[in-house]
Amino acid sequence: MATPPPPQHHGPHSWQHQPPWHTGPYVPHQPPGPYTSLTPEQGAYGCRVCGALPVADTTVHGHQGMIVLMRFLSRKGPFCRDCGLAVVRDMSAKTLWQGWWGPLSLFITPVTLLTNLGPWGRLRRLGPPAGGAMPPLDPGKPLWRRPPALAGLVPLLAVLLAFPALLLTGLLAGVDSGPRELAVGTCVQDADRFRTEKLVVEGCDSALAKYRITKRLDTPGATCAEGELISVSERSLEAAPLCLAPWR
């Protein structure tokens, strides 16, 4: 029986006897470049955009109103200072001009913008980003220097000023420039409706004015004219009776 020939050695560094464990796909060697993937520490604790430190673990919110429908947007950190400010300014600027188009969105949009003040304050207190795998985002212009955001401030100011304006209007509407005292020559509401004779002054041009005070019976023997009513004020028992002539 013939025996197989012994293996041939081609040199001390021959690969003929290497075990066949190198069976994975071939990955070419890449020289180190300026930007590489995130390290485990950066991926777990660094900025989710650039991997830099220090960071603030916060969430930025946005809102879009679409007449009937609406969208609630959010981007969760952690963010470094520059990336976080860029996200806050971008989402707040879009909310300022996209968030008003709907009945409920008129109230949701101001609340959304106010909730972003918390992340904005936390991000501003961070130090400069360092150690990132890529450059941080450019924060860009502040909101007050962005034309779309400035246009969106008009509805915001209208909503914020609506309640004080309505309150002031109600107060002014309740103030009558006409006389308040039951003086001779003033008009009052229908005395028949007030069983306690508590007369209410009305302007003589008002539809509620039914009687006009013609005389105050404050002298002995004074009487009202024929067809006039006599009213005694309940404010004071010592007050003189009044003569009321039909006004309409």
Task: Look up residue 225 and give its amino acid.
Answer: A
For residue 191, tell me if it sits in a domain.
Answer: yes
Both 92 and 153 in one domain: the answer is yes
Give the pLDDT of residue 5.
60
Q: What is the C-alpha separation between 224 and 222, in angstroms, rounded?
A: 7
Same domain, 148 and 191: no
Question: Residue 156: what pLDDT?
Answer: 65
The angle subtended at Cα 87 by Cα 160 and Cα 131, nearest 5°, is 145
How many separate domains does the chain show? Answer: 2
Is 121 a member of any domain? Answer: yes
pLDDT tens digits, 111-126: 999 999 999 999 999 9
Residue 34: is its pLDDT beyond 50? no
Q: Which of 59-63, 65-69, 182-186, 207-211 has the highest mean pLDDT?
A: 59-63
pLDDT at 185: 87
pLDDT on residue 206? 84
pLDDT tens digits, residue range 119-170?
999 999 999 999 999 999 999 988 888 887 777 667 667 767 777 887 787 7
Integer Cα distance of 82 and 88 in angstroms: 10
Mean pLDDT of 51-78: 94
Q: Is residue 178 part of a domain?
A: no
Q: 159 and 64, same structural domain?
A: yes
Query: Does one domain contain both 48 and 106?
Result: yes
In which band, very low, low, confident or very high, does the pLDDT at 234 lie, cut at 50, 70 and 90? low
Q: Which two tokens stand for residue 2?
A: 């013939």
Give 3-state DSSP helix, strand, coil % of the chain, rounded to 5: 30, 15, 55
Residue 133 CB neighbour total at 10 angstroms: 18
Same domain, 131 and 204: no
**Residue 210 clears pLDDT 70, i.e. is over it:** yes
Q: Who wins on pLDDT, 230 or 248?
A: 230
Residue 223 structural domain? 187-246
Q: Please tell me whether residues 51 and 161 are part of one structural domain.
A: yes
pLDDT bin (cut points 50, 70, 90) of residue 242 is: confident
pLDDT on residue 237: 55
Is the pLDDT confidence value at 57 over 90?
Answer: yes
Whether residue 100 contacts residue 106, with contact meaning beta carbons closer than 8 Å, is answered with: yes
Whether the CB-CB separation of 53 and 129 falls below 8 Å is answered with yes
Please report the pLDDT score of residue 123 as a whole number. Answer: 96
**74 and 163 co-located in one domain:** yes
Claim to verify: residue 94 and residue 130 sit in the same structural domain: yes
Q: How much of the chain, in percent, has pLDDT values that exceed 90?
A: 32
